[in-house]
Chains A and B, each alone.
Chain A
Amino acid sequence: MLRDLSEQIDLSVMIGGPQGGGIESSGQMLLRTFMIKGYDVFGIREYHSNIMGAHSYYNIRVKSVKPRSVKLPVDGLLALDAETIFTHYNEISGNGYLIYDTSTEGTKIERIAPIEVEVKERIKNDLKEAGIEPIISDVIKYLSRKGVKTIGLPLKDLLRKTAEKLNTNLVSISKTVNTMSLTAMVSLLGFNLKTVEKAINYYFSGRKSIIEANVEAARTSFEFVKENYGLGKEIPDGPNRGKTRMVATGNDVVAMGKVAGGLTLETYYPITPAQDEAFYLGLHRNFKVDENTSKRLGTDKLGVLPFQAEDELAAINMAIGGALAGARTATTTSGPGFSLMNEGISFAVIAEVPVVITVWMRAGPSTGEATRQGQQDLLHSIFSGHGDSPKIVISSGDHIEAFYDAIKSLNWAEKYQTPVVHLVDKYLASSMMSFDKEDVDTSKVQIDRGKYITEPSSNEGERFKRYELTEDYISPRTPLGNRLMMISSLTHNEYGMVTEDPVTREKMLIKRLKKIEKAGMEIPIEDKVRLYGNPDAKVTIVSWGSTKGPILDAINLLKRDGIDAKLLHIRMLMPFPSDYVSKILNSSDAVIDLEANSMTQLAMAIKMYTGYDIKKKVVKLSGRTIMEHETYKALKSVIKGEKDFVVMSDGA
């Protein structure tokens, strides 16, 4: 019976505070708390491009089976500072909780420096319209009137109590205030103290005094809530108790995929939100293999070299050099860096060099907003590289896809001897989801290096035909150091020697084009496009990348309203699955394009590849996460014929 109850659990909690003030640990601990209780989690971090002081928050969703998106309003808002209350007061559900520090009650919005001028004005106007003074105490009163349970924690007193119990001073344990707030929230939501303590142990693993202080702080807070507000009705265990699971960001899983996929060299120049992937790879640069494997390979010391270049021009060209010498290489970047890599991509196309470019899209154009979401590099990716530059462009819809795509991209790069652009974004980079061992099953994947020759030539001085014209347009490849050969960025003949012969030029251009066409024929359709939902549904939503989660969740909500819709999720943008897409779109009554850019770049690409002109569009341009509730609302209004173009704008 408890199991049935657990299936109904759908909790949303938000935790906000100043960047650098422990928000990261609190978010991570919260995720672990819910997982330990047996639930699946999906959480996303919104933050400013700033090291310390600016507002940052986590929105976390908890369900018994994989949540795929976040939503508003939330059931609990944990405000680590006054700014969080002003920023999110209208995002709490009617019977939800606000947990805050009572010492912030006297704070006026004017006094909060990090809130941007126009945001401050907007919040003040909104408050004025609702008849609220721009001071925390008045906002709290307003929320209470609305039915929100406002839980003020006297954090200074609680901290003092904790210090006494630990027999230490206030300063040394000041950081535990976040743990107290967090414990207060989860105990009101019905989680027990033991779960929180376990989460603390996990997050601060091995750091004994920190664990001790945080556990004591949690106990103090738990007792306070119990005495003053009463504990929430205990939540049943979720279906995932007693398992070895993982929680990781998109940055993490791409790094994992690359290591599993045999990456040996990753060059990069620091850029948000790509840097955490390189960082994580760096943490795991030395890896262990089991005894059997090490015996067979003759070594137990294996590793991946992450290498920081002086700029993105160097990063892509070093990756190219590494690949020419036999390394399995990738580089990781975001829009601005990808712009600098364009000449390198063109070089990799003509020289037929396998290299993966992982592009973590963020809000552009230009520097734009480094830490915010955008899907604005679709056309940039397809057309990257001057001259005719056919290549492979793949985009991932969620963490699990991103893991496998990282491996597949490395394979395709070597098999088709081409640059592969792997499109991911800020949404995936800074969202965390729980998953199991079977979700990232490496026995399902194969490492494929294509026509790769490692035997040296038996005849010194014999030139290797690196660009041999073959029936399948793919030439045998060998690393520098192995055979005598020439690699060139100039138009070249089969030996790589420069030529301006019109006949050779034509043959080589066709060779490179046909090679990618061949990839299009060989790569299975499910790697290129997926259809979700009832295939007979007459409403088709078309999208790409990380919008997948919120759209699938919104489709479920639409179903409750009796609206049957399916999602055509396009993964490969070059070579494009034109026939499949064309067939689905032409057999639909209504087609809606949904993406996070203003030009509706996927709709443009579809028109280019298939001739199909999508008229109904939903976009999000605010740089913030696309959420379930707004996707549902936007799609519904378009399906009902109320609007043909909707801009979703939720989220602070």
Chain B
Amino acid sequence: MMARNWSDYRTSAWVQWCPACGNYGILTALQRALAELDLPPEKTTVVSGIGCSSRIPYYIKTSNVHTLHGRPIPVAQGIKIANPDQTVIVSSGDGDLLGIGAGHFVALGRRNIQMTVILHDNAVYGLTKGQASPTLHLWIKTKALDTPNIQGNINPLLLAFASGYTFIARAYAYHIDQLKEMIKKGIKHNGTSLIDVLQPCPTYNNIMTKDWYEKRIYYLEKDDPSWDPTISSPEDLTKKSSKILEKMNEWEDRIPLGIFYINNTIEPLETRIEKILPGYRANPPGKRPIEINEKPLVHPFTEFKDRIVET
């Protein structure tokens, strides 16, 4: 069979985003990444929450799940835990992942399950008409707000780092090729990966526009050819973490893009589960037999001996 083309991952659904929305760039980059990795559509799952960007599952021809507001990460983990062979990608908005779903965003890092999170980061809630999202900076007044933003912002990269994500990158929605490469690396990474995608919202974010971003963004590895975000030992972490954190913190005049951090020293959840539940990888919860001739495999008196009393 011929390798798949990115158009094989397109659906016939009408894409309902506004013209020039950053989501288009993310959609195209994701479809291309899937094609270049040649992932079988039924063995790939894009999971989203609620919001403009969370319509993406309808536009990608894989086996997808459109969940609740804030809950794509738990649903995605359930899928991955039950079937570790499935490629699982969370693609959801900043309000979804860092507002209502922030607890799940943090908990995911503790597990380092093999999964990619694509954060559609436009600093506003689009579908509800332009409120401030958790990534909008303090005192910025986008056009739908009646006052400047009186709440500070979350830095998704630092939050991911503190939470234990082992692959952290930032991309720009209109740079499709670079974004596609980061997505591919994220999917192939053996652990939890975050790709924070800065995206203009031409309808509601009149401050952080295409021009605004393009005056500021630059790529880490171009800026510094010696940039190496890979951690292969505890010593690497000690050596490199201050520079990594400094770059994650950089904003305002210059905004760095690229891969900030890859830590290959942390074992993924799948490996940890296999240790406490031998046979997990061979017979994960989604695939293991549960009966024989429609009869249970276990009887309480043969398995739960700690409750037995010989009288």
Answer whether A and B are interacting partners.
yes
Q: Enumerate chain A interface residues (CB-CB to B < 8 A).
A: 32, 35-38, 202, 240-248, 252-253, 256, 259-265, 267, 283-289, 293, 296-297, 299, 301-305, 307, 309-311, 313-315, 317-329, 343-344, 347, 351, 403, 407, 434, 437, 440, 442-443, 445-449, 456-457, 460-461, 479-490, 497-498
Number of A-B contacts (CB under 8 A): 281
B contact residues, range: 35 or more
15 contacts between A and B (CB under 8 A): A36-B310, A246-B301, A302-B297, A303-B278, A313-B70, A320-B75, A321-B47, A321-B77, A322-B81, A322-B285, A347-B67, A442-B299, A442-B300, A486-B65, A489-B66
Chain B residues with CB under 8 Å of A440's CB are: 299-301
Which residues of B, 272-311, contact A by the 8 Å Cβ criterion? 273, 276-280, 282-292, 294-304, 306-311
Of A325, A481, A484, the most chain B CB neighbours within 10 A belong to A325
* C-alpha gap A473/B286 in the complex (Å): 25
Chain A residues with CB under 8 Å of B290's CB are: 262-264, 328, 447, 449
Asked if A314 and B107 sit within 8 Å, CB to CB, the answer is yes
Chain A residues with CB under 8 Å of B189's CB are: none
Asked if B74 and A448 sit within 8 Å, CB to CB, the answer is no
Asked if A486 and B58 sit within 8 Å, CB to CB, the answer is yes
Please tell me which stretch of B24-32, B36-44, B231-239 contacts chain A, meaning at least 4 of its Cβ atoms lie within 8 angstroms of it: B36-44
B264 part of interface (Cβ distance < 8 Å): no
Asked if A318 and B74 sit within 8 Å, CB to CB, the answer is yes
Asked if B71 and A313 sit within 8 Å, CB to CB, the answer is yes
Q: Which of A407, A461, A485 contacts B296 (CB 8 A)?
A: A407
Asked if A247 and B63 sit within 8 Å, CB to CB, the answer is no
Asked if B311 and A245 sit within 8 Å, CB to CB, the answer is yes
Whole-angstrom distance between the Cβ of A247 and the nearest chain B Cβ: 6
* C-alpha gap A461/B41 in the complex (Å): 7
Given A344-B68, A483-B42, A489-B66, do A243 and B61 touch, yes or no (CB 8 Å)? no
B64 part of interface (Cβ distance < 8 Å): yes
Chain B: CB-nearest residue to A280: B304
* C-alpha gap A323/B82 in the complex (Å): 8
Of A252, A307, A403, A457, the most chain B CB neighbours within 10 A belong to A307
- In the complex, the 6 A-B pairs of residues with the closest C-beta atoms, listed nearest first: A321-B78, A301-B279, A262-B290, A326-B286, A317-B74, A447-B291
Whole-angstrom distance between the Cβ of B287 and the nearest chain A Cβ: 6
Chain B: CB-nearest residue to A466: B63
Asked if B79 and A325 sit within 8 Å, CB to CB, the answer is yes
B13 part of interface (Cβ distance < 8 Å): yes
* C-alpha gap A437/B307 in the complex (Å): 12
Q: Which of B77, B83, B296 contacts A261 (CB 8 A)?
A: B296
Chain B residues with CB under 8 Å of A447's CB are: 290-291, 294-296
Chain A residues with CB under 8 Å of B299's CB are: 260, 437, 440, 442
Chain A: CB-nearest residue to B308: A246
Whole-angstrom distance between the Cβ of A290 and the nearest chain B Cβ: 8
* C-alpha gap A488/B63 in the complex (Å): 11
B148 part of interface (Cβ distance < 8 Å): no
The secondary-structure label for the interface of chain A is: mixed
* C-alpha gap A319/B309 in the complex (Å): 35
Given A252-B304, A297-B292, A484-B42, do A262 and B297 touch, yes or no (CB 8 Å)? yes
B214 part of interface (Cβ distance < 8 Å): no
B193 part of interface (Cβ distance < 8 Å): no
Chain A residues with CB under 8 Å of B47's CB are: 321
B228 part of interface (Cβ distance < 8 Å): no
B62 part of interface (Cβ distance < 8 Å): yes
Whole-angstrom distance between the Cβ of A529 and the nearest chain B Cβ: 26
Chain A residues with CB under 8 Å of B80's CB are: 321, 325
B103 part of interface (Cβ distance < 8 Å): yes
Asked if A287 and B300 sit within 8 Å, CB to CB, the answer is no
Q: Which of B67, B273, B303 contacts A287 (CB 8 A)?
A: B303
Asked if A320 and B42 sit within 8 Å, CB to CB, the answer is no
Q: Which of A244, A327, A456, A489 contacts B68 (CB 8 A)?
A: A489
* C-alpha gap A240/B298 in the complex (Å): 25
Asked if A313 and B74 sit within 8 Å, CB to CB, the answer is yes
Chain B residues with CB under 8 Å of A326's CB are: 82-83, 285-287
Binary contact readout B39-63 vs A (1 if CB under 8 angstroms, 0 otherwise): 0111101010010000101100111
Whole-angstrom distance between the Cβ of B256 and the nearest chain A Cβ: 30
* C-alpha gap A449/B58 in the complex (Å): 28
Asked if A248 and B307 sit within 8 Å, CB to CB, the answer is yes
